[in-house]
Amino acid sequence: MYVLLSAAMSIDGYLDDGSPDRLVLSGPEDLDRVDAVRASVDAILVGAGTVRADDPRLLVRSADRRAARIASGLPENPIKVALTRGDIDPGRAFFTAGPAEKIVYGPAALRDSLGELATVVDLDDLGAILADLSARGVRRLMVEGGGAVHTQFLSAGLVDELQLVVAPFFVGEAEAPRFVRPARFPYTALNRLRLEATEQIGDCALLTYRTERG
């Protein structure tokens, strides 16, 4: 399975600030680019922290892109995938905004609270989760955060492509969520990621990296 990790961060590496409101990092042009990427994948995966903090809909916004997916025999929207080891609120847009198939990798007890809203699969190992998604027909997966999820995918060497948008400002708050947390990453000064492309999008920079896996 091809795994594409997409994130936007400040110059000092933050995904968000400490305020309850979602931090706007990029602009409309980049959001449209991300929408095109969403339209190109079979599934979009986020951690429960992102579901709680941002309440994302994780749908393809463009009607033309949804129509193109349907015309090529795909579901209107990619499968939404969330990871949790605890609880997840069934009132979140992850569950209520649709139409889209939803899968939650989390404790089996979640089946009681989620009912028909999502398929619950009791797995937390990323390798096993990717194998399960693959068995469900997912060939292209987009990982959309947050920091804990990025850290696991990147440190486990499970990412083929990294699309990183750098927004031209600083957050500078010690407690705000960072792009990744401290971990042992396979990509070091001696084993670097391959920078494939750089692009200016509005006032942001899009850096596209490939790993050896990809």
Ligand X SMILES: NC(=O)c1ccc[n+]([C@@H]2O[C@H](COP(=O)([O-])OP(=O)(O)OC[C@H]3O[C@@H](n4cnc5c(N)ncnc54)[C@H](OP(=O)(O)O)[C@@H]3O)[C@@H](O)[C@H]2O)c1
Q: Taking CB under 6 A as the rule, does residue 84 contact ligand X?
A: yes
Please work out, in degrees rounded to the nearest 5, the angle formed at the alpha carbon of residue 103 by the alpha carbons of 1 and 207: 45
How many residues sit close enough to ligand X to count as binding (CB under 6 A)? 28
Q: Taking CB under 6 A as the rule, does residue 163 contact ligand X?
A: no
Q: How far is the CB of 189 from ligand X (least distance, A)?
A: 25
Q: How far is the CB of 96 from ligand X (least distance, A)?
A: 18
Q: Taking CB under 6 A as the rule, does residue 25 contact ligand X?
A: yes
Q: Taking CB under 6 A as the rule, does residue 93 contact ligand X?
A: no
**Near ligand X by CB under 6 A: residue from 12, 124, 132, 173:** 124
Give the footprint of ligand X on residues 172-191 (CB under 6 A).
Answer: 177
- DSSP code string of 158-170: --SEEEEEEESS-
Q: Taking CB under 6 A as the rule, does residue 146 contact ligand X?
A: yes
Q: Pairing mode, if any, of strands 119-121 and 140-143?
A: unpaired
Given the rule CB under 6 A, which of 70-78, 81-89, 90-98, 202-210 is the region that contacts ligand X? 81-89
Residue 22 CB contacts under 8 Å (≥ 6 apart), including other chains: 16, 53, 54
Which CB, 8 or 114, lies closer to ligand X?
Answer: 8
Q: Taking CB under 6 A as the rule, does residue 7 contact ligand X?
A: yes
Task: Outline where DSSP puts E strands in 48-158.
Answer: 79-83, 102-105, 119-121, 140-143
Q: Taking CB under 6 A as the rule, does residue 16 contact ligand X?
A: yes
Torsion of CA 210, 51, 93, 56, to 10 degrees: -40
Q: Taking CB under 6 A as the rule, does residue 58 contact ligand X?
A: no
Torsion of CA 163, 164, 168, 172, to 10 degrees: 160
3: exposed, middle or buried (C-beta count within 10 Å: 0-12, 13-18, 19+)? buried
Q: Taking CB under 6 A as the rule, does residue 8 contact ligand X?
A: yes
Given the rule CB under 6 A, which of 40-48, 61-69, 133-141, 206-214 is the region that contacts ligand X? 40-48
- Name the residues that contact ligand X, by CB under 6 A: 7-8, 15-16, 22, 25, 46-50, 53-54, 83-86, 105, 124, 126, 144-149, 152, 177
